[in-house]
Chains A and B, each alone.
Chain A
Amino acid sequence: MLSRRITNGRGSRSCLVKDSSVTVTVEKPHVAVTDRRNGHRNLNRNQAERHRMHMKPLEYIFLFLIYPGFLFSATMGLLVGWVDRKVTARLQWRVGPPWYQNFIDVAKLLLYKETLIPKGASRAVFLGMPALCLSGATLASTIVLVVTGEPDKGFIGDIIVIAYLLMIPSLALMLGGFSSANPLASLGASREMKLMLSYELPFILSLIVPVIKSGGAIRLGDIIIKQQNSAPFITSASGAISFLVMLLCFQAKLGHIPFDMAEAETEIISGPAIDYSGRALGMFKLAKAVLVFAAPVFIMSLFLGGIRFNSDYILTGVLEYIMILVLMIVIKNTNPRIRIDQAMRFFWGPVSGLSLISVILAYLGH
């Protein structure tokens, strides 16, 4: 990976989210080496800099909008959403919808349905939040996928940026619910907030475990490379425990069934999204799809060494992905919805305890 990058001479100023509002410390060490080896010896640093600044924005836009950003993630997410619906249907002994069902659903909402704004709603927030939700989810997914594809890309602290970006969809859903002037939406949004408070602690604690085990690396790429050089972290005790915790946290983050009290369909009628229609609802659905696609990839890169794109490993990578996905769907289909107080007790009690134990085990080197 490293040698390939050196030959294409793009330099390692691989700061993915530079064009967003996130401030990032940029890693520089191999820039000089790269450029010198490629015969850029005559270029002084300023010129090289200018060259990169000129080239980068287009590349970032491509990464964000087409591959592996919005277009790719959304397409894969809708396919993964179909897997979800089909497995659910098969578990209930039904046939289930055809593979293109989610594409048709989203196309209908985006292209042909009316977008209604409820009376008394704050228009800007109500319509802005779906876009924020979608862009946050897409940015998180772009960083995760780019780093999975080429572990030496990424920047220092990208794991922290991802942790924050993964919060944005929930925050946007919450604000959208509060702004829509509907009591059930407010109820759902307040539940979403409590749920967030409860799962963030074990989520961050189980995120720390791979960081400790890879010797303090806070670049996702370093964590992946470390695992590919030795064993994946899931094979150790602390890794296995925090993998389990991470799975539960993502179940709550995605609003899957044991923790779907925020958008309980049968109780508070899809909660914060109750008053959304047309394009805005379609954007929420797309954001959910993107997240559902990116979540197993993120879990894999933290605990299973990511997906390696060469012929020996790609099959195991895809199988691991499908196993994590189906595990999440089966958890979703075999559990009842729990109450918000039960969820808080669950996450702050046993789950946080487990993740604390795994952090301590990781420190002790297990």
Chain B
Amino acid sequence: MGLKEKILTKSIYAFHLSSGSCNNCDIEILDCLTPRYDIERFGIVLVGSVKHADVLFCTGSANRLCIPRIKKLYEMMPKPGFVVAWGACGSSRGMFKDSYNTGLPLDEIIPVDLYIPGCPPKPEAVIAGLIKLTDKINGKIRR
């Protein structure tokens, strides 16, 4: 684990990208920032602009209108950047798998580094998932 990995894993600015979610996962993102879980302890901050971001938190089932926007936002994120598919919909379209409106799962639109399952995922699951993301950046987990 070199200096670069150490720095990249200790300071994660997250951008919240909601693509047609039911707002449940979005509430859980804010839940992680509350005093009980406080992920700012690990240097994770929610930023408003995608140009400041290191990680995209993608919630929702990626519906048709959102697909070009998801691609654009992914391209606008300065690299190195990572993508987290958040919740059942983000990971696999969940119950909207056969819907007319959700043609592709998120990981066929942009490269996804981490899946956090759950509907919505609990903050504990999120923290466990983010530790897996740091392991992946450090090269401990191969894809």
Interface residues of A (CB under 8 A from B): 85, 89, 92-98, 101, 104-105, 107-108, 111-116, 265-266, 269-270, 273-278, 281
Contacts and interface: CB of A to CB of B under 8 A. Distances in A.
Contacts of B76: 116
Contacts of A98: 41, 43
Interface of B: 4, 7-8, 10-11, 35, 38, 40-41, 43, 47-49, 51-52, 54, 76, 78-80
Contacts of B4: 111-112
Given A94-B35, A116-B51, A269-B49, A107 B7 contact: yes
A97 B40 contact: yes
A84 B51 CA distance: 24
Contact of B10 (A104, A111, A269, A275): A104
A94 B38 contact: yes
Given A269-B48, A275-B49, A94 B40 contact: yes
Contacts of A111: 4, 7
25 contacts: A92-B35, A93-B35, A94-B38, A94-B41, A95-B41, A96-B38, A96-B40, A96-B41, A97-B40, A97-B41, A98-B41, A98-B43, A101-B43, A104-B10, A108-B11, A112-B4, A113-B78, A113-B79, A116-B51, A270-B48, A274-B48, A275-B49, A275-B51, A276-B51, A281-B52
Nearest to A275: B51
A92 B48 CA distance: 21
A112 B80 CA distance: 8
Contacts of B52: 270, 273, 276-277, 281
Contacts of A92: 35
Contact of A274 (B43, B49, B79, B80): B49
A235 to B, nearest CB: 40
Contact of A95 (B8, B38, B47): B38
A276 B8 CA distance: 18
Given A112-B80, A270-B48, 15 more contacts: A96-B38, A96-B41, A97-B43, A101-B10, A101-B43, A104-B7, A113-B80, A115-B78, A116-B76, A265-B48, A266-B48, A274-B48, A275-B51, A278-B78, A281-B51
Contacts of B38: 89, 94-96
Contacts of B40: 85, 89, 94, 96-97
Among A93, A113, A266, the most chain B Cβ lie within 10 Å of the Cβ of A113
A276 B49 CA distance: 9
A94 B44 CA distance: 14
A115 B51 CA distance: 9
Contacts of A89: 38, 40
Contacts of B79: 113-114
A319 to B, nearest CB: 28
A114 B77 CA distance: 9
Nearest to B10: A104
A94 B37 CA distance: 8
B78 A101 contact: no
Among B48, B54, B76, B80, the most chain A Cβ lie within 10 Å of the Cβ of B48
A270 B50 CA distance: 11
A64 B133 CA distance: 41
A55 B13 CA distance: 46
A140 B136 CA distance: 43
A270 B78 contact: no
A48 to B, nearest CB: 49
Among B35, B40, B49, the most chain A Cβ lie within 10 Å of the Cβ of B49
A28 to B, nearest CB: 50
A105 B40 CA distance: 12
